[in-house]
Amino acid sequence: MDAVTRLFEDFALAYHNQYRKAFPNRSTLDRAKKYWLGHLKCFSPAQVVRAGAELVSSSEFMPVLADVVNTCRRDTALFGLPPTRGAYHEACLKPSPKLEQNWSHRAVYLAGRATGWQLLASEAESVSFPQFEYHYLRLCRQVVEGAELQAESPAPLPRQVQAELSPEELLELASELRRDLKS
């Protein structure tokens, strides 16, 4: 709530007359703050404050909620996250093995993995992009909220598998193979 309160305080100072007209009394202001908070809770307080500062410095008229939301969404670039379309193309074009590639951001790799590399490689963009976008935006929200994304490396396979079978086990496996071949 502190970030939304700060946002409204900045608007009151920067857009004095418009602000007083939009929020003529305490009741209206409190309802507006609660409403805005509901729509801005998916963004970090720092993002909301940065968005407000950016809008105050660039807008002649008092911003509306949609302006603040859109500015917060654009703020993902501050976290090193590429735009969604660029991230999608990166995920589609990186060669295998995917984990060993140099990614612009770990979220791109994780969104590609969650979408499925085969789907990204074989389906039309109209099918694969919405699925990638869903995963990528979810990961972007996590990054913006301060989460550390981890891309686990699969455990390496052992150089040699030691599976010695007894002569009886070998005979049983050979019998099973014979039965399977006759079927």
Residues 8-53 have pLDDT tens digits of 999 999 999 999 999 999 999 999 999 999 988 877 787 788 889 9
- Co-location of 9 and 70 in the same domain: yes
Token pair, residue 62, equals: 């008092």
- Which residues span the domain enclosing 69? 2-79
Domain count, the chain: 2
Q: How many percent of the chain have pLDDT more than 70?
A: 94
CB neighbour list of residue 91: distance below 8 Å, 6 or more residues apart: 108, 109, 111, 112, 115, 120, 132
The residue type at 112: G
- Co-location of 34 and 53 in the same domain: yes
In a domain, 153, yes or no: no
pTM: 0.52
Q: Is the pLDDT of residue 73 over 80?
A: no
In a domain, 49, yes or no: yes
Q: Are 33 and 7 in contact (CB under 8 A)?
A: no
- Co-location of 6 and 75 in the same domain: yes
In a domain, 94, yes or no: yes
In a domain, 183, yes or no: no
Q: Is the pLDDT of residue 88 over 70?
A: yes
Token pair, residue 126, equals: 């109209």
In a domain, 174, yes or no: no
CB neighbour list of residue 165: distance below 8 Å, 6 or more residues apart: 173
Q: Are 87 and 138 in contact (CB under 8 A)?
A: no
In a domain, 131, yes or no: yes
